[in-house]
Structure 1
């Protein structure tokens, strides 16, 4: 039968007569049979109280006395003299449960690799050994997260006495830094954990005592040493390690800052926030502005981008064949390398935005209409929230403004958030100047250049099929309204809805969303005073949903040229006004729009 591996329990102590007996007794009471207990007296000067207690245990432990050098030096002496294959630290004021070592060695026995560092949660006890709390990392994070080597260190989850460490880890990593008085443990764990597997055990196996005499309360310079330790972590962690722990460097820095917010380490917290802000500034945003004439408003829009607090941007200004002089816009672009002017034939805003997307070099793309403006913090705030939520598609609430710049009502469209597909089909409140997309989200997609209105909604529907929408209920954009804008122009709204309908029923996947499409038809009918709300019961009973899709497909196949869209749209509108909604739907079901209505 193979001998069980030996575990060395090392107890450093300095003037610890109040609690050391309880610690030693818990070490000697371990149910795991092959242990040694080493107690290192780090030059106690309490009139022999600590020494007398230690010597009273006789041969049941190995007693080592040395001059005072601090906790790190006592631990290092114990490591040098230990004879076991595994190291287990026990502070003189803490307590092991009897099965601490046995449970950990049992777990290791089931692992293929034995070069694993183990740690766990712990109980908190007071001076009288009464329970005052529990620290359970698995109540905050998944086991998978807790097993990422550096993660428990940079989230302050490691209690040194919960560890079980293979002895050879010290040979490859080194010992505790004896120049550090209170952070020697975390400094070593940071170096060591990067090179080994780390596993979290959910069992509570130790009791950690909270009392006024702890070194963190009595040793001068503790706060400064902790700040320097955390700053060194932030400077040393690699890109791969940050991404493994939190997904992106920004998330790592900002979540580390949030963790440090609950500590007294203000200097380290501010440094983490500064690093996070620097990561955001590395993200380039391409702002696409299509324009046709309206030079004054276009200049106002461009200047609102130049005033952004997020400074890593480019402005791609697409001239959609303006007939007015654009000299001032061209001069502005020539004076600032972040602005790029491009002229195209008059093909409409969809074509202009698509050209802007093709020219964009940013990580993200934002859209701004030439008559609208951004608030100064728009890009920074929206980017921050997108990075924080790892979002590919976001939009915000916005403020309406009149032609003369006066403020109007706030539209809380940013309340629409999450998995909004397919509900976006029936109602899309997303305003284009509030949208920011990652380059990935729009890859292979574009605005429908055959539509003068509603082309943006069609794109948002298409993207929302693949990505959740991050809605931000903050007013970050001003959207100008007037008689000529779609927000107030009923005719443009009608055409937009008709375009959306033709896009949806001609789409290979979206045509099956009958309820949502029916609600969109109802919205169109409401412009003509047609009352009521569509439901499944409004469909002709003799026509199944499968038959509906078939008839719609037949209709589209006969009318799939954009040159015929508006003719068919007029038929829909005439039928709605003359015959009502349900009759019009029946005609769609029966494929009657292939001929005159």
Structure 2
């Protein structure tokens, strides 16, 4: 377990959170990593915050114009050097043993695509006691049914998957990536909470309404997957149905002790 991990982190106006996020990477028990941050023309102090953190493993790039998370992730993936590729948004957090446990899981089982459970926190970092998991195995059909993995939990083996580049869509671009990868490999669940997802931050996808989500799902299938209008509509409806199923089966309230 000595291979380099490339951590892909798009950022936009997360000066309030990004230092804590980076620290969760620095705190990893697995230390052979590079963190590639691509800032999408933030208008806050994100660049100042990042530049104060002195670690040669951190690469900070800034887009010339605001281009969206898809373009930022594509840019980071093109310069990634690691065998393993992991994803972490600039306001989310990892548990200290996230990388070590996931790499051990994938190496032992000879998997090349995996994800883990995660816990939700609110905008201020307080625990909500909500745990999100998913299917043990996600096939290509299963991934088209719904976006089961949380972006902050995904890892894949670049030696086996190769370079992934996605279409320039503003939302659901992480899902677009999983749809490409699942055509090459199944995705396996490491059933352990190894990350914290910040829900409710202003501007995040979790704050948008149902109609917006439907529109973004349709655009994903229509433009990223290049399906015809009918297939895009069918897959969007299928996504909505499985979204309800996920909330019932895989989103759980953690029982408090005492």
Place the TM-score, normalised by the shorter chain, in its bin.
Answer: 0.7 to 0.9
Equivalent residue pairs, number = 238
Q: Match of 1:521? A: 237
Once residues 422 and 441 of structure 1 are traced to their aligned partners in structure 2, the CA distance between those partners, rounded to angstroms, is 20
Equivalent pair of 1:453/1:492 in contact (CA under 8 Å): no
**Structure 1 pair 308–492 and aligned structure 2 pair: CA distance change class (3 A):** farther
Q: 1:296 aligns with which of 16, 30, 39?
A: 16
CA change 1:526–1:464 in 2 (3 A) is closer
Question: Is residue 420 from structure 1 mapped to residue 145 from structure 2 by the alignment?
Answer: no
Match of 2:205 among 475, 478, 486: 486
Q: 2:183 matched to 1:465?
A: yes
User: Is the contact between residue 118 and residue 197 of structure 2 (CA under 8 Å) also seen in structure 1?
Assistant: yes
Question: 1:446 is matched with which residue: 165, 174, 188?
Answer: 165
Alpha carbons 1:393, 1:468 under 8 Å: kept: yes
**Deviation of residue 525 (structure 1)?**
9.2
Higher RCO, 1 vs 2 (CA within 8 Å, ≥6 residues apart): 2
Quick check: which one's strand share is greater? 2
| Aligned-partner Cα distance in 1 for 2:235–2:6 | 35
User: Which of 80, 86, 91 is the matching residue for 1:360?
Assistant: 80
Task: Write out per-residue CA displacement over residues 341-399 of structure 1, whole angstroms, 9 at most, x where no aligned residue.
Answer: 11112111111111111121111111100110111111111111011111111111111
Question: What SS does the corresponding residue of 1:294 show, helix, strand or coil?
Answer: coil
**Higher helix residue share:** 1
RMSD of equivalent CA atoms:
2.5
Q: Where has structure 1 moved over 3 Å in runs of 4 or more?
A: 409-412, 522-527
Which of 44, 47, 51 aligns to 1:330? It is: 51
Aligned to 1:407: 127
What SS class does the counterpart of residue 316 from structure 1 fall into? Answer: strand
Map of 2:251 onto structure 1: none
Using the alignment, how far apart are the partners of 2:92 and 2:198 within structure 1? 6
Does the 8 Å CA contact 1:367/1:436 hold for their aligned counterparts? yes
How far has the Cα of 1:419 moved from its partner?
A: 5.0
> How far apart are residue 318 of structure 1 and its match?
1.1
3-state DSSP of counterpart to 2:52: helix
Contact 2:118–2:132 under 8 Å retained in 1: yes
Question: 1:377 aligns to what?
Answer: 97
How do 1:549-568 residues align onto structure 2 when only pairs under 5 Å count? none
- 1:169-568 counterparts in 2 under 5 A? 280=1, 282-325=2-45, 326-332=47-53, 335-344=54-63, 345-413=65-133, 415-449=134-168, 451-482=169-200, 484-490=203-209, 491-503=211-223, 506-507=226-227, 518=234, 520-521=236-237, 523=239
- Structure 1 residue runs without a partner (length 5+): 1-279, 528-597
CA contact (8 A) 2:77 2:163 kept: no
Q: Which structure 2 residue ranges, 5 or more long, are not aligned?
A: 244-258
- After superposition, the Cα gap between the structure-2 partners of 1:323 and 1:469, relative to the gap in structure 1 and judged at 3 Å, is same
Q: Give the alignment's TM-score, normalised by structure 1.
A: 0.38
Instruction: Sort the Cα spacing of 1:518 and 1:359 in 2 relative to 1 into closer, same or farther, 3 A.
Output: same
